[in-house]
Amino acid sequence: SKGSVKDWEMNHKDFAAVYHGKEPSSWRNVAVSTAEMLGNISEIPFGDIHDVKRRLLQVIAHTDCLATGRINGDISGEDWFELIKASSDEKLKQLPAILHKYASENDLLIELNLGNKKDYSTTQQDKFVPYLASNFRKEISQLLSNEEYGGVGEIELKLAMLAVHSEYIHVLVAKRLHEGENQFGVLKAPEPKSINRMQVKVETDYKDERNPVACLRDTVRRSIECENIELEQAFLDSLREDKDAVWVPLRQKNTVLDASSSVKQCLVNYCFKPKTSDLESISFADMLNDSQFENCCEQAKERNNISDDTLEAALKLFGSLSAKPIDMIVEFQLYLKHFLEKRRMCHIWYKVSRAESCKYLTLDCAKY
C-alpha cells in the first residue's frame, strides 16, 4: 500500500485483470485483494486515493454478477460480499473515537444556529412537492391506467419526476450559489441524486415508511468545506440574505456532536422557494416554459435511462400542476476541512458497509 498503484497491481494480478476488463485466474484472489486494499486505503498517499477508489469500485461492481451466476467463479457473490464488508466494517469501528477526540480537543462540539422558530425536523418532501403528496396518487393512477403508459409503475414515475424536477432546481440553485471558492470556503455542486441511488434508499432505508419517496430530502445537494465553525455559521446566515429565493430552514443533523459517529459533518435541510423577477413563486408552468427546462429533461433522461413513455407521463403530470410552486427540499453538507480529508480517504468503507446485499452494492458502484 505504500508504493504506487501500478506497483500494487503487479502483486495483485487477478485484481488488475478485472479492472482492465480481462478474466482473472481466480475470482477468490480478486476478492481477497479487494478486501486487502480496502483495509489499507488509509495508508495510501492522499494523491493516489481517487485513482485507488475508482479501481476498487469498478471491481466491486462485479459482486452481483457472481451472486446471480452471470459470472462463474471460484467464490460465490455472497462470500465475496461478506469478505469485503467485514474489512470495511472493521475499519469503520476504529474511526469514531479518533474523530471525536479531535472534535473535543478543538472545541468543535457546538450546534449551528438555523434561526428557525418552528420545529420542521420531521418534514418531508411531500409537504412542498405536490406530486409526492398522498392526495395526488389518484391523479397518478388515472394517468397510468391509460394503455399507452401501461408499462410505467407508480414509484418509477415518481422517481422520474423527482429526477427531472431536481435537475431544474439544481440549475436554479447554481445561479445563486456559485461553485468554487468563496468567502466561506469551497462550495461544490454534485449532480442530483441518481434514480438508481434513490431506488436503493426507497427499498432499504425508507421501505417501512408510509411514503418512501417523500423521504428523499437530498436529491439536490451542495457541500461546503470550511476552515472553522465560524465560517460554517456565516455561510448559513448568508442564505437569509438571498433576495431571489426564500430558504426555510427545516432541520440539522450534526454528527460532530455524536461520539459514536464515524462521519463528522453537519447536514442542514432547507426548503428552497425560488422567486421570479417580480418576486412571485416560480410555478410548474414557469418551469415548463423556461428555455433551460428542455436541457434539464435531456440531462435527467440520459443520466437515469428514463424511458420515453415515463418522461412523457411525467411532463403531463407537471402540466396538471401548472399553478403550484416548484419548491423543493435541498440539503447542505457542511464539512470542516480536517474531517473532510478523513472522509475522502475513507468514504468507500461507508459505501461498502451500508450495502444490504450484493444487488444494492452493485447498484451503488455501477456508475463507476
Q: What is the pLDDT of residues 3-47, one digit of tens each?
A: 566 777 777 888 888 888 888 999 899 889 888 888 887 776 656
Question: Which of 39-48, 175-184, 270-279 has the weakest average pLDDT?
Answer: 39-48
Residue 2: per-residue pLDDT: 47
pLDDT mean over 152-181:
96
What is the structure's pLDDT at 12?
85
Average pLDDT over residues 319-345: 92
pLDDT of residue 103: 93
Q: What share of the chain in percent tops pLDDT 90?
A: 60
The owner of cell 467464490 is: 75
Question: Residue 45's pLDDT is what?
Answer: 65
Average pLDDT value over all residues in the chain: 90
pLDDT of residue 343: 78
pLDDT at 171: 97
State percent of the chain over pLDDT 70: 96
Please give the residue that has the higher pLDDT: either 170 or 95: 170
**pLDDT value at residue 4:** 63
pLDDT band at residue 246 under the 50/70/90 scheme: very high
At 3 the pLDDT is: 54
